[in-house]
Amino acid sequence: MEVAANEAFDVYRELYYEGGVGSVYFWDLDDDGFAGVVLLKKGITPGSKNSGGWDSIHVFEATDRGRTCHYKLTSTVILHLSTGSEVLGDMDLSGNMTRQIEADMPIEGDASHVANVGRLVEDMELKMRNLLQEVYFGKAKDVVSELRSIQPLSETNRDRSAHRNMISSMMK
């Protein structure tokens, strides 16, 4: 089952990460079940002015319940972004996020476990990526915009002057 999971997640990694590395490991639990971990890693241009890395760690437990299986998935994403330019300076943004989900899913054999875990990991990564994109990066963009304008000072002064002229002409 571990070999099949590695093959399946190798396809997943190529489709969603377009490279990177990944591994899947399984182990038996003391009760009627097993556990495993899905590890995915993708990095870009380490050591250059623009670099980054995405690490996904998905730990799961699976407990058989007859024709269904109870899965508990704990996922952590660790993200690091670094960029720099002579005009704007350097910026480093790093963080991690952990989420957990439990689900009961039908099984018909070992292949069902690989498909079920794959579905859970895929859904969790999509949710976490969207949350990072919308909440964290959106908030970071808002904060940076409040702290520093990218627009040159001459353009800002021109816009303020035009704004003042418009207001004064409306008051006449």
Domains with residue ranges and CATH for the chain? 2-171 (3.90.1150.210)
Distance of CA 31 to the CA centre of its chain: 32
Q: Specify the range with the lowest mean pLDDT, choosing from 2-6, 149-153, 158-162, 163-167.
A: 149-153
Which residues fall within 8 angstroms of residue 78, CB to CB, at 6 or more apart?
A: 53, 54, 55, 57, 94, 95, 96
**CA proximity to 54, closest of 22, 85, 25, 29:** 22
pLDDT at 107: 94
pLDDT tens per residue, range 88-121: 677 787 888 999 999 999 999 889 999 999 999 9
117: left (phi over 0), alpha (psi -120 to 50) or beta: alpha
CA 135 vs CA 38, 42, 117, 141: distances in Å:
25, 22, 26, 10
Residue 84 has pLDDT above 90, yes or no: no
pLDDT at 37: 98
